[in-house]
Amino acid sequence: MKLPGNMQGMMAQAQKMQAKMQEEIAAIRVEASAGGGMVTVKMDGQKHCLGVTIDPEAAGDAEMLQDLVLAAFNEAHKKVEDETQKKMSGMLGGLGLPPGLF
């Protein structure tokens, strides 16, 4: 089925924007810490953990260390979500879609 010329152009533009958005999201890098910097987590835009840094002082108390790693990971995850939302809002804003749709 062939779409009208205007629709084909819009679909092609949407596909290009989607590819660009995926590239920009993949390029996101965030860092979050907990316990005053005792644990730091680095994460990319696909929410893959890129690294964890632990201050040797935090290693003595396993329960506290677990809590700090969890808190840092959750904060990094939230930062990725926030950055992704910003990028999507910026890109989709140019389409003239109703606010709050994405």
Per-residue pLDDT of 17-27, as tens digits, reads: 888 888 999 99
The CATH number given to 26-58 is 3.30.1310.10
Local confidence band at 39 (pLDDT 50, 70, 90 cut-offs) = very high
Phi, psi angle pair for 43, to nearest 5°: -140, 150
- The rounded distance, in Å, linking the Cα atoms of 17 and 25 is 12
Which helix (DSSP H) or strand (DSSP E) does residue 39 occupy? strand 39-44
Residue 73: pLDDT above 60?
Answer: yes
What integer is the mean pLDDT of 74-88?
94
